[in-house]
Amino acid sequence: MTINIIPADQALNVSAIITYIYADPGLGKSSLGFTADKAVSFDFDRGAHRTGELRRGAVIPVQQWADVAGLTTQDLAPYNTVVIDTVGAMLECIKTHLLLHPNNRQKDGALKLKAQGLANQTFKQYVNTLISMGKDVVFIAHASEDQNNDQIIYRPDLGGKNRNELYRIADMMGYMTTVTTGEGKNARVINFKPSPTHHAKNSGALGGETGEVWVPDLKTEPMFLAQLISAAKAHINTLTPAQLASAKALEDLENWKQSCDEALYASDLNQLTESLDKSHMYYQNMRQAMLLKAKELNCTFDKHKETWMSSPEFNGISDAQRDDLLAFIDERGLDTKTVCEHLGIDSLMQIDVSKIQEVKQEIDQIAKAGVNS
């Protein structure tokens, strides 16, 4: 059998890519997904009905993981693009599926650490299967608004480890928001160029120098996302494997530095450590960036526990303050797990007493985002 070997100095034809779009509430994320080429939406978030007349593709309402896990190549043959709406809900669906097995549950009903790793592995394997079928994959996610000192940062509403992993496997990642034009009108724009205010990735060189792509009226541009993905592929396919690997590695490094800058707690450093790939081209640069941030946060690494620890000066909240926070969370229709994942901590007791008002402000923002989404 003849093996097709592509030399390092020749372009490597890419037939399927991963596009990742996260957006503020009410901007038409799901509607955007239906403008991809021959799209089928895996409706994990159960919101496809809100797209109305803009729903131009097939929908699979997902009640449980088995609804999509058993789909075959023949089932997906009519479609060129699989839209995951939303990717956060998909990850939760996989975890819920694993919780059905007693061996994956802790005594308190939470997923064991090993099972959490299995959930991430299941997710990646499934996405790789879709890519191997030749399907473009579009991740849709909600945006979260985080505060880092005086800077507001917009990024996908996912836990730190998942957020970093999804960034790594995506070819393109854009933040969709609204801006006011010179004529005083509101317009939607997708930012594919990373900045201090948002996370992004642009292997497809979309939007020119600024990385900004303006979103048209989808009623008159029903193939908008299909055209974007096609343009990104065309650019990627001009690059040699070495050029593409180098460009992606550099983007990984810049995102890593940004994530390090935004770290606030020892738990953030632990999530970064879990995401650190020793085989990465810029492993040492990434490690040094993380160590510098750990020094800034006055955190130390416990070699026996293999975890970052907060400084001795850390002054955690009291039991009474924790109970007050629990009531505060409950009053806003949220649960503790959601809040902890948003803050990047494992327990409310990891909150410094000096930051309790900031935490309450963030909880309010999560609640408002949930109401508006």
Q: Could you state, in order of their start, the residue ranges of all structural domains in the chain?
A: 18-238, 243-309, 319-372
Per-residue confidence band for 231, with pLDDT thresholds at 50, 70 and 90: very high
Question: What distances in angstroms separate CA 149 from CA 72, 221, 263, 264, 358, one per listed residue?
Answer: 48, 40, 11, 10, 10
Q: pTM of the predicted model, to two decimals?
A: 0.75
Q: Dihedral angle at the C-alpha atoms of 334, 338, 342, 346, nearest 10 degrees?
A: 130
Q: Cα(5)–Cα(19) distance, rounded to whole angstroms? A: 27
Q: Please write the tens of the pLDDT for every residue from 58-78.
A: 999 999 999 999 899 999 999
State mean pLDDT over 167-192: 90
Q: CA angle at residue 306 from 301 to 311, to 5 degrees?
A: 30
Give the range among 72-86, 110-124, 283-297 with minimum mean pLDDT: 110-124
C-alpha 113/C-alpha 104 separation (Å) is: 9
Most confident residue range from 114-128, 155-169, 220-234: 220-234
- State residue 10's pLDDT score: 61
What CATH architecture applies to the domain 18-238? 3-Layer(aba) Sandwich (3.40)
pLDDT of residue 105: 85
Contacts of 35 (CB under 8 A, 6+ apart): 56, 218, 221, 222, 223, 224, 225, 226
CA atoms of 95 and 302, how far apart (whole Å): 29
* Contact criterion met (CB below 8 Å) for 259 and 160: yes
Residue 116, amino acid? Q
Tokens (6 digits) for 193:
């160029």
pLDDT of residue 130: 96
